[in-house]
Structure 1
Amino acid sequence: MQQKSADHLVVFDFETTGLSPDMGDRAIEIGAVLIENGKITDRFQQVMNPGIRIPLFIENLTGITNAMVKDARNNAVVMADFYEFIAGHNLVAHNASFDERFLRAEFRRIKKYFSGGIACSLLAARRIFQLAPNHQLATLAQYKNLPNDGIYHRALADAEVTAHLWLSMLDELREHHNIETLSFGFMHTLTKTPKHQLKQLYAQQQVKSAIA
C-alpha cells in the first residue's frame, strides 16, 4: 500500500458486460480521476472493445453499445495505458470489491500487477454518513448535494461523483471529528472497522493528528 495522504489518489470505475470476470465478463469502459491535495487534477476515460458481445441489458443500462465499441481500442491496450495512469497511487472505488475484481482480471491478461491499496467509498460512507437513506452513489450524491451531471452507469461520471463523495467524507472527519491527519491507511482501516468501534478509532487518530 502506498503510504500517502487520503487526498492524493486515483478514483476509478468500470462498466462491464456483467458481474463476474470469473464467468467471462469483461470491462467495456474505464473512467478515473486523479486527486492531488484534495483537488481533481487529471482524468482518464476510455471505451474499449472487449472482444465479446455486450448484452442488451448492459447496453440499456450504460448506453454503451456494441456499435460504440466496435472500432474502440481493445482492452489490452487501454488497460496498459491505465496501468501507467495509476502508477504510484492508491485507488478508491464505490463498491470497490466489484471494480477490484475486474481491475485485477484485466491486468492479469496483460501480465500486470497492481501493488497499491484499494479502498471502498461505499464502506467508508456507511461509517461516516450513517444517517443517509442508503449508500448507493446516486443517493449519497443527493444526500450531500455533491457536484454531478445526473448521469450514472458511465465510468467517468461515476468516478467524478465518487471523488467528490470521498473528499466530502474527508471534510466530515476533519470538521466533526477533529482529525486533521488523514492517511490512506487510516481510511482503509476505517472501512473495515465495526461501527461500535469507530469512536475509539477516531480518538486514536485524534492523538496521532495532534502529535503529527
Structure 2
Amino acid sequence: MPSPIAVIDFETTGMTPAQGARATEVAIVLLEGERVVDRFDSLMRTGVPIPPFIAQLTGITNAMLDTAPAAEAVMREAARFVGDAPMVAYNAAFDSKFWQAELQHAGLAAPQPFACTVLLSRRVFPEAPSHKLGRLIDHLGLPRTGRAHRALADAEMAAALLARMQRELCQRYGLDWPGHGLLVQLQRTSRHAMDRLLLRQTHVVDAQGQVPG
C-alpha cells in the first residue's frame, strides 16, 4: 500500500504572507495511491479583511468568516490531520508559504516537504495546452469537483491530477507506484533528464525489487 500523501489548498486574502495576507479557507485531501481516504476542510477567521475582488473570485465573504473558527484552532486540527504525511499542492510555492505561516501563528512547526503538481505536470504532460489546474483537469478528462477557487474543490482536483500523473509514470516507465521522494526529484529535474532518471529507477526496480522514494 503506498504511503499517504496530503494534498492541500488554501484560499487567502492575498498573494503572500510576507505582505500580510492570511488564509481564509484550507482543505486537505489524504491520498493512498489513487484512493482518497479522508478529507479535511474549514473556513478560518484571522481578522484580516478579504478584498472585494477576492471575495468575488472565491465566493468567500467577510460575513462568512465572522462565524468561522479561529485560524489557530483550524491549523492545530489540520496539523493533526496531516500528521507526518508529506504534502503536495497544485502551486506549492504559494500554498507551502501559507502552511508554514499559519502554523507559525498557531505556534506549530511545518517540517513537511512539498511536491508541486504544476512543476510535475510540465514534466509529465509537456504537450498540455495549459498547466492551469482547471485546464489540465479538462485536458486529461478528469472530473471537476466543484467551484474553482474554493479550497476543497481545488484540493480534490489537485489530488486527482497527482494520482493521474503517478499512474502515467507507472505506465510509461514500468515503475511501481512513485512515492513522494521521487516526485520531489522529478520536479527538480529537467524534462530532458527525466527519462534518464526514471529509467535508472526502473533498473533499480529490476535489480532490487523496489523503487526508492
Match of residue 32 from structure 2: 36
Residue 110 of structure 1 aligns with an amino acid whose one-letter code is: A
- In the alignment, residue 197 of structure 1 is paired with which amino acid? A
Aligned partners of 2:72 and 2:201: how far apart in 1? 41
User: Post-superposition shift, 1:209?
Assistant: 2.1
Question: For 1:87, which of 80, 83, 86 is the aligned residue?
Answer: 83
Distance 1:209 1:27 in 2: 42
Greater relative contact order (CA < 8 Å, ≥ 6 in sequence)? 1
Change in CA separation of 1:42 and 1:181 when aligned onto 2, cut-off 3 Å: closer
Cα separation, 2, equivalents of 1:111 and 1:89: 19
Deviation at 1:116, TM superposition (A): 2.2
Amino acid at match of 2:80: E
Determine helix, strand or coil for the equivalent of 2:161: helix
User: Which one is further off, 147-156 or 74-83?
Assistant: 147-156
Q: Runs of at least 4 residues of structure 1 off by over 3 A?
A: none
Q: Secondary structure at the match of 1:25?
A: coil
Contact 2:144 2:157 in 1 (8 A): yes
Give the counterpart letter for 2:81 in structure 1: F
Counterparts of 1:64-79 in structure 2, within 5 Å, are 64-79=60-75
Match in the other structure for 1:27: 23
1:50 and 2:46 aligned: yes
Contact map agreement 2:145 2:156 (CA 8 A) in 1 = no
Distance 1:40 1:181, change over 3 A: closer
CA-CA distance at 1:8 after TM superposition: 2.2
Q: More deviation in 194-203 or 99-108?
A: 194-203
Corresponding residue SS for 2:79:
helix
**How far is the alpha carbon of 1:43 from its aligned partner?**
0.4
2:197 is the counterpart of 1:197: no
Distance 1:110 1:126 in 2: 34
SS at match of 1:126: helix
How far off its partner does 1:181 sit?
4.4
In structure 2, what is the equivalent of residue 206 of structure 1?
Answer: 202
Letter paired with 1:96: A
- Please tell me whether the aligned partners of residues 27 and 41 of structure 2 are also in contact (alpha carbons under 8 angstroms): yes
Identity %: 38
* Residue 134 in structure 1 maps to residue 148 in structure 2: no
TM-score by length of 2: 0.94
- 1:102 and 2:98 correspond: yes
| Structure 2 CA distance for aligned equivalents of residues 69 and 160 of structure 1 | 22
Letter aligned with residue 158 of structure 2:
T
Tell me the matched-pair count. Answer: 208
Amino acid at match of 1:205: Q
Unaligned runs of 5+ in 1: none
How far does residue 132 in structure 1 lie from its aligned partner after superposition?
0.2
- Which residue matches 2:157? 161
Alpha-carbon offset, residue 74 of structure 1: 1.2
Deviations 1:42-86 (A, max 9, x none): 100101112111100110000000111111111111011001011
3-state secondary structure, aligned to 1:113: coil
- What is the CA distance between 1:9 and its match in structure 2? 0.6
Correspondences of 1:164-179 after superposition (within 5 Å) = 164-179=160-175
